[in-house]
Every structure is written in structure tokens, then in C-alpha cells.
Amino acid sequence: MQYPATHLVVMGVAGSGKSTIAAALSKQLGWACAEADEFHPQSNIDKMSQGTPLQDEDRWPWLQQIQDWMTGKARAGRSTVLTCSALKRSYRQLLSEAEGRVLFIHLHGEADLLSQRMQGREGHFMPPTLLPSQLATLEPLTDEELAVGSLRLDISRSPQELIAGILAALELPAEPGTETGSGTETGSDPARCAH
């Protein structure tokens, strides 16, 4: 089956390296790239900054905006790479309703490693104190999701190994001339990868 576009959603809890992997995939593939954090309304950012976990009612409008962005790119003939925690199956189901083929790449790791990574980050609104609530909310990819091409990868591997594994597993060749990252959208696009 031919799809108008493919969307790779790099998912997982905070500290799993979503931004690093998504930016590298976007650079390799020459696909549009977005950070789900950029779609949060200020009220969500304020909650998380204060250490208050988001509830489902906070997340649905945010996820819908991300789905709309994916569909817009698909209608323009663009494939995408984006970061999104996508912790629950229901959240992933909503994102999967975007036009095109939607695959999830779950970056998972031990709580100690995740916490260590979060404590080493600068300038991010998500405090390490929210990690336990994220881990409690996380619903790992189901067998059904994995069967259609989604992936679960251990973050103890190097970013280079993870990228190579993703490209090989999904049989995605890098587009010619994109090694400098020319495919990553910047400028007027409201959401873009941070790297």
C-alpha cells in the first residue's frame, strides 16, 4: 500500500532523548520536523513548570493540534519526524488518525538513567520531579502497534546506533543531499526540531 506520507513519532518519557533522535532522523531523511512541546498552550507549560502533571483534558487539544500539523504536511506531500511523549495508547490512537502512515519509535530506558539525563538538561520546563508520574502513565507499545512497524528501542545504545537501527528496520534511505540537514524546517514554521 502506498501512503501519501510517513510520520515517525519519536515517543517516550522525558529524558529519553526524543529531540536528539528526531533531529538526526529529520537530517538523514530530509523530512519536516516538529517538537510536540512547541504545540503546548502556555497553561500546560505553566502546570509542568510548577511540577503539576498534565491531565487528559490538558492533553487532548494539544494532541489534536499535532495531528492537524501531521495531516497538513501529508496533504502537502511531506513526510515528517516529530517528538511526542505519546504515553497512552489512546493518545497514539488520536495521532494515528492523521493522514498518512504513522509509526511510533519508543525510546525507553531505566528510571535512573532517565532521571540522570533530566537533571543534566538546561532550559527545559519539565522538572525531574515529574518523571515518576510519566513512568506511571506510560503504556508501552502493544503487540498490535509493533506489528505494523512501530519500534521499541533501548536508550542505553548510542544515538548513532539508534538512528542506524531505525533506518534499517524501517528500510528508510537517506535522501541525496540532505546530510547538512536542509530538510529540517525553520523560519515561519511554528514547530521545529530544537537541534
Q: How confident is the model at residue 193 (pLDDT cuts 50, 70, 90)?
A: low
Q: Is 174 exposed, middle or buried (0-12, 13-18, 19+ CB in 10 A)?
A: middle
Its pTM stands at 0.82
- Note whether 103 and 148 are within 8 A (CB): yes
- Establish if 184 belongs to a structural domain: no
Mean predicted lDDT score pLDDT of the chain: 83
- Establish if 190 belongs to a structural domain: no
**Tens digit of each residue's pLDDT (9 = 90 or more) over 54-93:** 888 988 999 999 999 999 999 999 999 999 999 999 999 9
Domain that holds residue 29: 6-170
Residue 194, pLDDT score: 45
**Tens digit of each residue's pLDDT (9 = 90 or more) over 12-51:** 998 888 999 999 999 999 999 999 889 988 888 888 888 8
d(CA 13, CA 91): 14
What's the CATH code of the domain at 160?
3.40.50.300
Q: How confident is the model at residue 111 (pLDDT cuts 50, 70, 90)?
A: confident
Spatial strand order in the sheet of 32-35: 32-35, 80-83, 6-11, 101-108, 151-154
Q: How confident is the model at residue 105 (pLDDT cuts 50, 70, 90)?
A: very high
**DSSP secondary structure letters along 55-71:** PHHHHHHHHHHHHHHHH
Q: Is the pLDDT at 182 greater than 50, yes or no? A: no
- Establish if 175 belongs to a structural domain: no
**Tens digit of each residue's pLDDT (9 = 90 or more) over 143-154:** 999 999 999 999
- Establish if 88 belongs to a structural domain: yes
Outline where the chain has alpha helix (H).
18-29, 42-49, 56-75, 89-96, 111-119, 131-137, 143-147, 159-170
- Establish if 43 belongs to a structural domain: yes
- Note whether 8 and 107 are within 8 A (CB): no
- Establish if 187 belongs to a structural domain: no
Q: Is the pLDDT at 177 greater than 50, yes or no? A: no
Q: How confident is the model at residue 122 (pLDDT cuts 50, 70, 90)?
A: low
Q: How many domains does the structure of the chain reveal? A: 1
Grid coordinates of 4: 501519501
- Establish if 189 belongs to a structural domain: no
Grid coordinates of 184: 529540517
Mean pLDDT of 167-194: 53
